[in-house]
Amino acid sequence: MNLDLNKLQPYPFQKLAKLFGEVTPNAALKPISLYIGEPKHATPAFIKEALITGMDGLSNYPTTLGSDALRTAIASWLARRYDIPCRMQRRKYCL
């Protein structure tokens, strides 16, 4: 086994759970849930409709090179973000 694995730090939520274990919450206060996980509310209809509309493209993996539209969007973002020209025909990105 890779000995560098011993250098890894505990998962942050394990550390947080340990810290919580040492605290007694005030029973008079209602806790505010800030957990990441299952949603507590129904999915809005417009999101469901967008998912259904886009389902056709989810039946296969994208190409390694990415679609022309994706590569063009990446090039545009690079140009805007870093003020650098980027012609996708000359670049090969692994996504």
Q: In this predicted model, what pLDDT tens digit does every residue of 32-66 receive, in sequence order?
A: 777 777 777 888 999 999 988 888 767 777 777 77
Q: Give the whole-angstrom CA distance, residue 73 versus residue 60.
A: 21
CA atoms within 13 A on the CB side of 38: 1
Q: Is residue 22 part of a domain?
A: yes
pTM of full prediction above 0.95: no
Give the confidence band of 4 by pLDDT, cuts at 50, 70, 90. Answer: confident
Among 49, 51, 91, which Cα is nearest to 74's? 91
Q: Is residue 95 part of a domain?
A: no
Q: Is residue 3 part of a domain?
A: no
Q: Is residue 68 part of a domain?
A: yes
Q: Is residue 17 part of a domain?
A: yes
Three-state DSSP state, 67: coil
Which stretches does DSSP call E strand in 1-95? none
Range of 47's domain? 9-90
Q: Is residue 2 part of a domain?
A: no
Count the domains in the chain: 1
Q: Give the whole-angstrom CA distance, residue 65 versus residue 68.
A: 9
pLDDT digits (tens, 9 = 90+) for 8-26: 887 888 888 888 888 888 9
The two tokens of residue 82 are: 């870093």
